Structure 1
Amino acid sequence: MAKTQLNVRVDEATAETARERASQRGISVNRYIEELVQQDEGENGRAFVQAAADFMRRYEQVFEEEFGGRSDGPR
């Protein structure tokens, strides 16, 4: 996958923490930040799926009443 450069500004304490955490894991700060973003993206995806499932559970009866008798699509 192609890489692109991203410049960010953080306070020195945050930068030092990032350096320490990356070092503890034996990875670069770049890789550490990349992993944090990927983890966050995954958590957002899981949160969306959970919210959609909760919505469907909550409104399942309404959908069943409105669309339950139709045979024009997958169930």
Structure 2
Amino acid sequence: MAKTQMNVRVDETTAQAARERALAQGVSVNRYIEELVQRDAAEVGRSFVDAAADFMKSYEHLFAEEFGPSETGGSGSGSLPKA
């Protein structure tokens, strides 16, 4: 994957913390920052999936009334009813 250069301004305390954490993990500051952003993006994705699952649990009875009970017994396998 191609890399893009970014210039970021942070206060010296934050910069020093990034250097120290990267050193402790045995990675470059660039790699450390990249991994932080990737983890943050993954957390957002997990939050969305969790919210969708909660929504389905809350409204499962309404879907069952409209479309009939799921063939999986509500296990959330994602299978659609046969047409």
Cα deviations by residue, 1:31-75 (Å, 9 ceiling, x for unpaired): 000000111111111111111000000000111112228xxx824
5+ unaligned residues in a row in structure 2: which ranges? Answer: 70-78
Equivalent residue, structure 2, for 1:5: 5
In 1, Cα distance between equivalents of 2:5 and 2:80: 44
Q: How large is the RMSD of aligned CA atoms in angstroms?
A: 1.5
In 2, Cα distance between equivalents of 1:68 and 1:19: 57
Q: Secondary structure at 1:8's aligned position in 2?
A: coil
Matched, 1:46 2:52: no
- The alignment-based identity, stated in percent, is 68
Runs of 4+, deviation exceeding 3 Å: none
State how many pairs are aligned: 72
In 2, Cα distance between equivalents of 1:26 and 1:61: 51
5+ unaligned residues in a row in structure 1: which ranges? Answer: none
